[in-house]
Amino acid sequence: MIYDTHAHLSGLAERGIDPHKTLQGLFTSGFAGLIDISLAPGDLAARMEEFSGYPHVFFASGLWPWGESIANRERLAAELEEVILTIKKGKYASRLCALGEFGLDRNWNGEGKEGSEDLEGEVALMEMQMAAAQKLNLPVIIHSRDAAQETAAVLKRYPLVRGVVHCFSYGSNEAKTFLDMGYYISFAGNLTYKNAHTIQDACKLIPNDRLLLETDCPYLAPVPHRGKPSHPGMVEEVYKKAAELRWTSVEEMAGQIKENIAALFGIK
């Protein structure tokens, strides 16, 4: 009864994997559920409709810091807020669990990088979504890569917002910084990689009631599937590795993660 707290089902379809067959197989075998993440305002309602037949699939949406989203941040942030407000009044209100993912990515954005060079705009896009989450009373799913200090600086400006730093890619010191602000930490398939010692050390120190696990599928397939597109069922390997690092069982880990999901996202 394991749970994937962060998956992109649209990414499976883009790689020729039928998400419906995948979900049907998983739920038949006792899979607990997942959170499907969309990255554009127009995707959320359509995805909720498409996967409405799976009662244990929940949804979140945010604006990832692509160059287009940064350049058009005011319009897109307003669209996202309007979409969420509409959903919160509709039949799928109980299936919406968070705003995100969004955040800062200095591996992608910055001078000489492939993405946007507008770093002030990237921060502004994040702040708009933090403000929306506070207004809408939703937890946030934070993306942060090569930008730990910058991410923490934004989060500190919104102390009333709760959330998770997903696909954690930093070390113990950064983990403590986010934990001190009340955030959860989520680990993905790269936790299982041979040379991921820094991430693994961080995983060991996360309090039981602040830990989440995910695939971030179709990315970061865990060992022994590395190099393939990942899917939610592969999260079991992440549970195994986390349980090994934390000297516990997968069963106990699964029970704790379900409690944490209920506490943060309201998913029962």
Express each pLDDT in 224-261 by its tens digit: 999 999 999 999 999 999 999 999 999 999 999 999 99
pTM above 0.95, yes or no: yes
Whether the per-residue pLDDT at 41 is higher than 90: the answer is no
Q: Mean pLDDT for the chain?
A: 96
In this prediction, residue 6 has a pLDDT band, given cuts at 50, 70 and 90, of very high
Whether the per-residue pLDDT at 190 is higher than 90: the answer is yes
| Residue closest to 201 by CA, chosen among 245, 237, 167 | 245
Which pLDDT value is given to residue 225? 95
Q: Give me 78's structure tokens.
A: 């307003």
Average pLDDT over residues 89-98: 95
In this prediction, residue 264 has a pLDDT band, given cuts at 50, 70 and 90, of very high
Which pLDDT value is given to residue 7? 97
Average pLDDT over residues 167-195: 98
Which pLDDT value is given to residue 33? 97
Which pLDDT value is given to residue 43? 86
Whether the per-residue pLDDT at 204 is higher than 90: the answer is yes
| Residue closest to 256 by CA, chosen among 237, 241, 238, 243 | 243
Domain boundaries, the chain: 3-265
In this prediction, residue 79 has a pLDDT band, given cuts at 50, 70 and 90, of very high
Which pLDDT value is given to residue 31? 96
Whether the per-residue pLDDT at 262 is higher than 90: the answer is yes
3-265 fold: TIM Barrel (3.20.20)
Whether the per-residue pLDDT at 42 is higher than 90: the answer is no
What is the residue type of 118?
Answer: D
Which pLDDT value is given to residue 90? 94
Q: pLDDT tens digits, residue range 118-154? A: 999 999 999 999 999 999 999 999 999 999 999 999 9
| Residue closest to 66 by CA, chosen among 115, 8, 112 | 115
- Contact yes or no for 212/185 (Cβ under 8 A): yes
CA atoms within 13 A on the CB side of 15: 15
